[in-house]
A and B are shown apart, each in its own frame.
Chain A
Amino acid sequence: MAHLLSMIDTRPQFEPPQPPEPSLPPTKSINASSKSALLVENDESLLNFLRRSLKDEGYAVRTASSSEEGLRLYRDCAPFNVVLIDYCVPQSNGVEIDYCVLQTNGIELAMAIRDINPSQGIIIAAFDYQNSGEVPRPRELMHIPLLIDISKFQLRSLLEKIDVDRAIEALTPSELLRLQQFAAFRVRGLGRAARGRTGEDLLAEALLGTLIGAEVTGKGRHWNKDVDFVQHLTGAMRSISSCWKRQFKEKEAYLISELPLHDVEEQRDSLLENVASGDPAADQCLIEKDERDRVLTIFKADPEATQVLHGLLGSLRKNEIMSSYRLDEKKYAAAMKRIRVKLLGRRNGGGRGEKHGR
């Protein structure tokens, strides 16, 4: 292990060993549930690095520097959510602990640390115990490692993914329905800009953006665990759908600018006119006007719903709509409900997963 220690010390991302840090205060949401990790590693530098990384993600970490100690901790304190084991900790072979881990239900991630690549940082072999169907016997397992570069971001992304997967499973039916309907309405509002995408596509992209955001914090849609997961996903969907709309408009404006505009008097193309326009194309306007009129027609026989729709068209807020049309809270809520049900019902009538903006 001494040569491994010297390799680690040369890596800029590893800070010098530090004394154990105090436990982080629990955060809201998923972190509020206790998450525990067992770390078996005799390399002090690596141990500190991994412990810090795990603590940063809200894990209560138990550490051992030998296999026997690790096994004892495992027996005394299991179950753990995450187990990280050095493949060659003294006194035993890490595989034995792997085997114990394999027997346990509820483990979310277990890894055996295999080797360190001096040019890349630490490379470990990781076994995903969640996918037990893909996990053969432990010894065979050692020959089909999923290579993980356990630079800090990678470990963070693995831990984040556990949190995201856990949050998905924890979603209640009503939360899932809210997400589904939110996505459906956002995509419907895109009109042609949806380009055939559905609410499900929007939701999937929000989730994937979250996972990649865990890895690319600056570019992705990283989930801040202080924010409720549903709130995070709806925020991501708002952002993605706005982005789709913007991209569609930019592309369309570009295409319009590419149309050769003929100058009748000069008998040549007018360069002045050949400039990208931010205005939507005439056919798009007609389609969207038709769609808007269609929505209004649906509620022709429902004066309160029509009033609410006109209020929404006028960008009025709830209170403004209520006072403008003299609707009380109950009538406003009932009208909104009728609008939602009718529009979603029509969507259902056209088949789930209906494509928009074709």
Chain B
Amino acid sequence: MADKKNHDEHLERITNQLAESVLGLSDEAIIAETTETGADPEQEAERTRLVLRQASKALDNVNKRLSNLGHTINPNYWWPGPGEYHNNCRSCGSLVSLTTATGEMQGDAFDAPCTESGQYAIRRREASGK
């Protein structure tokens, strides 16, 4: 049984060490290595930045879409699931799910406007100087 566990861990051990070794490379070395793999370092770097930007945008999109539908979530109540984060509209209780890898939005909250959103409507105030 020990051998089985070893097989399971061997590859992981190698690749994790390789991952750690990447962090110690100089700027020139990492760019040179990327070139040697046949990829364009600049293109690869920008592609990676895009991945990060898109992930950041995913959360914005959720907030904006919920806002347009009148839902209000408590940002303190996100809870993680496998590959997803979940929340509920605190007015109507509809479910909000965000798939982390794709930024995909799911749940009842995206299907219909909040039925209880009236109580959170903004009361327009007159400017005190007017």
Chain A residues within 8 Å of B, Cβ to Cβ: 1, 42, 67, 87-94, 114-115, 117, 119-120, 123, 125, 128, 131, 145-147, 149, 153-154, 157, 161, 164-165, 168-169, 171-174, 176-183, 185-186, 188-191, 197, 200-201, 203-205, 207-209, 211-212, 215-216, 219-220, 230, 234, 245, 247, 279-280, 282, 284-286, 288-289, 291-292, 295, 309, 312-313, 315, 336-337, 339-341, 343-345, 347-349, 352
Interfacial residues of chain B within 49-91, with CB under 8 A of chain A in the complex: 49, 51-56, 58-60, 63-64, 67, 72, 74-80, 82-83, 85
Closest to A290 in B: B7
Contacts of B83 in A (CB 8 A): 205
Q: Is A164 within 8 A of B56, CB to CB?
A: yes
Closest to A220 in B: B78
- Whether A288 touches B56, Cβ cut-off 8 Å, given contacts A1-B128, A180-B44, is no
Offer 20 A-B interface pairs, CB within 8 angstroms, sorted by A.
A1-B128, A87-B127, A125-B122, A177-B30, A177-B31, A181-B22, A183-B19, A185-B15, A185-B16, A186-B19, A189-B16, A203-B48, A203-B52, A205-B55, A208-B85, A215-B78, A280-B4, A288-B10, A348-B38, A352-B47
Q: Is B78 within 8 A of A189, CB to CB?
A: no
Contacts of B18 in A (CB 8 A): 185, 312, 336, 339-340, 343
Closest to A345 in B: B37
Q: For the complex, is B115 an interface residue (Cβ under 8 Å from A)?
A: no
CA distance A189 to B29 in the complex (A): 23
Q: Is A279 within 8 A of B4, CB to CB?
A: yes
Q: Is B30 within 8 A of A117, CB to CB?
A: no
Q: Is B37 within 8 A of A348, CB to CB?
A: yes
Contacts of A178 in B (CB 8 A): 22-23, 25, 30
Q: For the complex, is B111 an interface residue (Cβ under 8 Å from A)?
A: no
Q: Is A312 within 8 A of B126, CB to CB?
A: no
Q: Is B22 within 8 A of A340, CB to CB?
A: yes
Contacts of A173 in B (CB 8 A): 31, 41-42, 45-46
Contact of A147 among B15, B42, B67, B119 (CB under 8 A): B67
CA distance A333 to B18 in the complex (A): 11
Output the residue of A119, A172, A189, A348 with the most chain B CB within 10 A: A189
Q: Is A174 within 8 A of B8, CB to CB?
A: no
Q: Is A345 within 8 A of B10, CB to CB?
A: no
| Shortest distance between the CB of B37 and any CB in chain A (Å) | 4
CA distance A131 to B119 in the complex (A): 29
Closest to A237 in B: B19
- Whether A123 touches B45, Cβ cut-off 8 Å, given contacts A189-B15, A207-B56, is no
| Shortest distance between the CB of B109 and any CB in chain A (Å) | 14
Q: Is B100 within 8 A of A292, CB to CB?
A: no
Q: Is A280 within 8 A of B19, CB to CB?
A: no
Contact of A154 among B52, B75, B103, B119 (CB under 8 A): B75
Q: Is A313 within 8 A of B76, CB to CB?
A: no
Q: For the complex, is B12 an interface residue (Cβ under 8 Å from A)?
A: yes
Q: Is B120 within 8 A of A168, CB to CB?
A: no
Contacts of B53 in A (CB 8 A): 165, 168
Q: Is B39 within 8 A of A348, CB to CB?
A: yes
CA distance A312 to B20 in the complex (A): 12
Q: Is B129 within 8 A of A90, CB to CB?
A: yes
CA distance A173 to B45 in the complex (A): 5
Q: Is A280 within 8 A of B8, CB to CB?
A: yes
Contacts of B38 in A (CB 8 A): 345, 348-349
List the 8 closest A-B pairs by CB distance, nearest first: A189-B15, A185-B19, A173-B45, A215-B75, A174-B27, A189-B12, A176-B45, A207-B55
Q: Is B56 within 8 A of A191, CB to CB?
A: no
Closest to A190 in B: B12
CA distance A178 to B34 in the complex (A): 10
